[in-house]
Amino acid sequence: MTKLQLNKLIERGYDFDIQEVFKEGWELFKKQPLFAMGYTGFIISLELLFVIYLKEYALLFSIFLAGPLFSGFYLVANQLKSEEKVVYTDFFKGFSYYIPIILIWLIGQVLVSIGLILFVVPGIYLMVGYSMAILLHVFAGLDFWESLEYSRRLVTKNWWKFFLLVLALIALNVVGMVLFVGIFISIPLSFFAAYCAFERVMEDVLIEDAKEV
């Protein structure tokens, strides 16, 4: 996946079906439900540990741990899509991309926060626009700033579709939190669905790569 291919994709555009990416995400979840829920439980427990017992350091979890931990879902989704065997430790492979993911996570949140504080609309635009940044770093090998910029440019091409996807993911997790135990399903499902959306967006690029191989 090269920058030239990404630029061509931005020029010609793309589309995806939100309902279909949720269906695909659900199929991925069903392949490893216990691992996915167990890993979600680990993340929630770790976050609660910081919130309840290490309040002074709670922000450190968001900055230095959340990004790599949640990125593990993307890597496992990729393995499941490729019909590869998944072991529990695969969920922690986000730490293999630690520094770039931290930079994407931190700088993305800072820029979104500035946009929300100053004008609201730019903040929402960037929040949606940066939704593919980590995926682009991990699977396209872009550096942290290129990942943010290419994500913004790609998402802008079909921004409203991504906005609806983000709203659907938020709604899913709100329902999950209301049901409490539902969040052990809604969190991994959200990341699996987001990965499937990424694959749909990159479909033509992936086909080109396959032909070259």
Task: Please check whether residue 119 lies inside any domain of the structure.
Answer: yes
Q: 183-201 vs 33-53: helix axis angle to the nearest 10?
A: 110
* pTM given for the model: 0.93
- CA angle in degrees (0–180, nearest 5) for 93-73-38: 95
Task: Please check whether residue 12 lies inside any domain of the structure.
Answer: no
Q: 121-129 vs 98-118: helix axis angle to the nearest 10?
A: 160
Task: Please check whether residue 13 lies inside any domain of the structure.
Answer: no
Task: Please check whether residue 105 lies inside any domain of the structure.
Answer: yes
Yes or no: say if 71 and 134 are a contact pair by the CB < 8 Å rule.
Answer: yes
- pLDDT grade for 213, boundaries at 50, 70 and 90: very low
Give per-residue pLDDT as tens, 7-59: 999 999 999 999 999 999 999 999 999 999 999 999 999 999 998 988 888 88
Yes or no: say if 119 and 108 are a contact pair by the CB < 8 Å rule.
Answer: no
Task: Please check whether residue 127 lies inside any domain of the structure.
Answer: yes
- CA angle in degrees (0–180, nearest 5) for 119-122-127: 125
Share of the chain above pLDDT 70, in %: 96
Domain of 157 in residue numbering reads as: 32-201
User: Count of CB atoms within 10 A of residue 117's CB?
Assistant: 10
Q: How many domains does the chain have?
A: 1
- CA angle in degrees (0–180, nearest 5) for 158-208-142: 65
Predicted confidence (pLDDT) at residue 67 exceeds the cutoff of 60: yes
> What is the rounded average pLDDT for all residues in the chain?
92
Mean pLDDT (whole number) for 169-192 = 94
- pLDDT grade for 174, boundaries at 50, 70 and 90: very high
Predicted confidence (pLDDT) at residue 72 exceeds the cutoff of 80: yes
Mean pLDDT (whole number) for 128-137 = 96
Task: Please check whether residue 17 lies inside any domain of the structure.
Answer: no
Task: State how far Cα 78 lies from the chain centre.
Answer: 12
In the structure encoding, which two tokens stand for residue 202, read together?
A: 């990159």
Spatial neighbors of 73 by CB under 8 A, at least 6 apart, are 36, 39, 91, 187, 188, 191, 192, 195
Task: Please check whether residue 73 lies inside any domain of the structure.
Answer: yes
- C-alpha dihedral, 124 to 126 to 128 to 131, nearest 10°: -150
Task: Please check whether residue 185 lies inside any domain of the structure.
Answer: yes
Return the higher-pLDDT residue of 120 and 187.
187
